[in-house]
Amino acid sequence: MKPLFVLLLLLLLLDLAQAQGVLHRVPLRRHQSLRKKLRAQGQLSDFWRSHNLDMIEFSESCNVDKGINEPLINYLDMEYFGTVSIGSPSQNFTVIFDTGSSNLWVPSVYCTSPACKAHPVFHPSQSSTYMEVGNHFSIQYGTGSLTGIIGADQVSVEGLTVEGQQFGESVKEPGQTFVNAEFDGILGLGYPSLAVGGVTPVFDNMMAQNLVALPMFSVYLSSDPQGGSGSELTFGGYDPSHFSGSLNWIPVTKQGYWQIALDGIQVGDTVMFCSEGCQAIVDTGTSLITGPPKKIKQLQEAIGATPMDGEDLVDGMQFCGSGFQGLDIQPPAGPLWILGDVFIRKFYSVFDRGNNQVGLAPAVP
């Protein structure tokens, strides 16, 4: 039996190596975050006040905030975007590839909100492959929301074309939330249970239509401050050149977000949180590492951070901020820690739907 086992293992590794040669890479572009954009325009404090957010900025010594719930700004801080094409002929949109949600949506030509006027909009009448579905959808992002209708069309991502993909066409994006956003829409890469309206997510259709060699995708976020050169989302496998050592595979504990169990959170040599275990999600749609506000405040204090109120800011100063932020996710979904881009830049992340696990390894700078 032993020689047979070795032979099967070698065949499995050979199959994996061959599959790894068929990777579909989506370049990700790093843009200036909304927080930095508004700060440069002198509008950041006004934005916070308009959304009833008691936000804190940070001084040159990396003073940090007191842990505020701001789920939407995490989306607007997102700096890595890619391009998708919808319809025939193609209509292009800049989207966040978001493992923390499961719907694809873009602005509709029928949207009259200021945010839609500031971004490309989808014209269903200009696509020969468009199919009307007509169901209404609504998505709430904490301090912002959008509503619209669901349509279906072919969706292409760097040579991968999904046929009959249902997606949201937003007709209302109220307020100023998405007006200044660098992205046009969001492409969710979470599990189907998160999808609003019972829509099948894009990656699920990729698997069903046999467009990927392996039922997995991976994310590499370059730490290069000059545009994030080399950042990419890879469908159908992973690229060993982006990480060192071996991937550590962690089982998904709940199939909605890419949720995993943490054994503990250590600061220095001391386990400060989750000593008895806790839950976290690996989320490309969140810029920072977030956790329950009280615990984040304790963590900030442990690393020597002190707050500086936004009203005390002086134009021309250089600021740096903590990579941690308080975010209160209520039961039954929470409490959850979120391992966002700050974490993913350090750890190459593989999202394996075939085995429902997340692979992590130190990213190569």
Q: What is the DSSP string of 126-145?
A: G-TT-EEEEEEEEEE-SS-E
Under a CB-based contact definition with an 8 Å cutoff, are residues 115 and 128 in contact?
no
Catalytic residue among 65, 77, 98, 352: 98
Q: What is the pLDDT of residue 328?
A: 87
Domains of the chain: 55-362 (2.40.70.10)
- The average confidence (pLDDT) of the chain is 81
* Buried b or exposed e, range 19-34, using 16+ CB within 10 angstroms: ebeebbebebebbebb
Among 14-28, 155-169, 297-311, the range of highest mean pLDDT:
155-169
d(CA 166, CA 200): 7
pTM recorded for the entire structure: 0.82
> Per-residue pLDDT for 326 more than 80?
yes
* Edge-to-edge strand ranges of the sheet holding 324-326: 254-255, 258-262, 278-282, 337-339, 289-291, 324-326
DSSP letter, residue 329 = -
- Token digits of residue 223: 């730490």
> Per-residue pLDDT for 178 more than 90?
no
Q: Summarize the confidence of residues 176-188 as an average pLDDT.
A: 86
Q: What is the pLDDT of residue 360?
A: 98
Q: How many residues does the chain have?
A: 365
Under a CB-based contact definition with an 8 Å cutoff, are residues 290 and 325 in contact?
yes
Q: Summarize the confidence of residues 2-15 as an average pLDDT.
A: 44
- Token digits of residue 236: 């159908």
pLDDT-derived band at 192, boundaries 50, 70, 90: very high
Among 46-55, 81-90, 139-148, 325-334, the range of highest mean pLDDT:
81-90
d(CA 147, CA 175): 13
Under a CB-based contact definition with an 8 Å cutoff, are residues 135 and 199 in contact?
no
> Per-residue pLDDT for 65 more than 50?
no
> Per-residue pLDDT for 101 more than 80?
yes
- Phi, psi at 287, each rounded to 5°: -75, -40
Q: What is the pLDDT of residue 250?
A: 98
Catalytic residue among 153, 184, 283, 341: 283
| % of the chain surpassing 70 pLDDT | 74
Active site includes 98? yes
Q: What is the pLDDT of residue 81?
A: 87
Active site includes 352? no
Under a CB-based contact definition with an 8 Å cutoff, are residues 258 and 344 in contact?
no
Q: What is the pLDDT of residue 365?
A: 84
> Per-residue pLDDT for 125 more than 70?
yes
